[in-house]
Amino acid sequence: MILIDNLTKTYGDLTALDSLCLQVKEGEIYCLLGANGAGKTTTINLLLGFIKPTSGSAFINDINVVEQPKLTKNYLAYIPENLMLYPSLTAVENLDYFSGIANKKFNKEELEAFLTEAGLQTSAFHKSVSKYSKGMRQKVGIAIALAKDAKVLLLDEPTSGLDPKASNEFGQLLQKLRQKGVATLMATHDLFRAKEVATTIGVMKDGQLKHQWSVDELSLKELEDSYLETMSYNSL
Ligand SMILES: Nc1ncnc2c1ncn2[C@@H]1O[C@H](COP(=O)(O)OP(=O)(O)OP(=O)(O)O)[C@@H](O)[C@H]1O
């Protein structure tokens, strides 16, 4: 579970995040939309403990991210736009390495089973990931989350640059994780994919959460209209 309570981050005069409150429960996928500079990555970086908030708090499975950042890592998996893997290693070797960091040890068959569950084709398991497409790399990221048994998944524009088929596959993998009870927060510019996968959609602007809907509350057209209207409104 993710709980964000009045989280604020300022850089000098700039308020990158302004009293953000939101919650992502087990089995929910929360898609955070917003133009460049809205504060989406700042939110994710605060949850990851990469940066410290100016005020407010955030919790991963009831653990305070600021007070116990290392402990929260046990529950978290993170997939950024460009997942960092060791290029000279294969998918199995990368998965073995990253599982080890999370204090999990698996045999070859178990590692391969995670990659299969993440939808990676068997023929790629023992090839260097330097030859992988972006979609294949994202699948390794999902396999890492599965192997780690992550309870919370943080995604920063994971489908950016994926072709529609790969993006669709990625969405289906998120649904699988959702069925396992994973709480997912995904920053994205992809309104279509957000409407496809989310349980809740939030729209940020100037560091503030301007709208939040349950996904069933609105059509894709209504989401697009509301998004564009929010973006065109000049708050200055
Ligand atoms: N280290 C920093 N120093 C100063 N300003 C920063 C820093 N990091 C982010 N910002 C500013 O904070 C604001 C929010 O940035 P953030 O990266 O969270 O936006 P975003 O919604 O993720 O945008 P994008 O869609 O482009 O990734 C922006 O105005 C950005 O310039």
In this prediction, residue 113 carries a pLDDT of: 97
What's the pLDDT tens digit per position in 86-102? 999 999 999 999 999 98
Pocket residue to mutate for ligand 1, from 8, 13, 32, 36, most atoms within 8 A of Cβ? 36
DSSP summary character for residue 128: B
Q: What mean pLDDT comes out for the span 200-228?
A: 95
What's the pLDDT tens digit per position in 106-165? 999 999 999 999 999 999 999 999 999 999 999 999 999 999 999 999 999 999 888 999
For the chain, the domains span: 2-75+151-232, 87-148
Q: Is 36 in the pocket of ligand 1 (CB under 6 A)?
A: yes
Contact 111, 96 (CB under 8 A): yes
230 CA from centroid of ligand 1 (Å)? 19
Q: Is 94 in the pocket of ligand 1 (CB under 6 A)?
A: no
How many whole angstroms separate alpha carbon 92 and alpha carbon 114?
9
Q: Is 38 in the pocket of ligand 1 (CB under 6 A)?
A: yes
Whether 236 has a pLDDT exceeding 50, the answer reads no
Question: Which residue has the CA at smallest separation from atom 1 of ligand 1?
Answer: 11
43 CA from centroid of ligand 1 (Å)? 10
Q: Which residues of 46-74 are buried (b: 16+ CB within 10 A; e: fewer)?
A: bbbbebebeebebbbbebebeeebeebbe
- ipTM for the whole complex: 0.96
How many whole angstroms separate alpha carbon 79 and alpha carbon 158?
7
119 CA from centroid of ligand 1 (Å)? 33
Q: Which amino acid is at 110?
A: E
State which ligand 1 atom lies nearest to the alpha carbon of 204. 21
Whether 26 has a pLDDT exceeding 70, the answer reads yes
Structure tokens at 157: 């524009």
The CATH number of the domain covering residues in 2-75+151-232: 3.40.50.300
207 CA from centroid of ligand 1 (Å)? 9
In this prediction, residue 234 carries a pLDDT of: 59
Contact 144, 84 (CB under 8 A): no
Percentage helix, strand, coil, to 5, in the chain? 40, 25, 35
Structure tokens at 40: 């989406």
Question: Which residue has the CA at smallest separation from atom 26 of ligand 1?
Answer: 36
Whether 235 has a pLDDT exceeding 90, the answer reads no
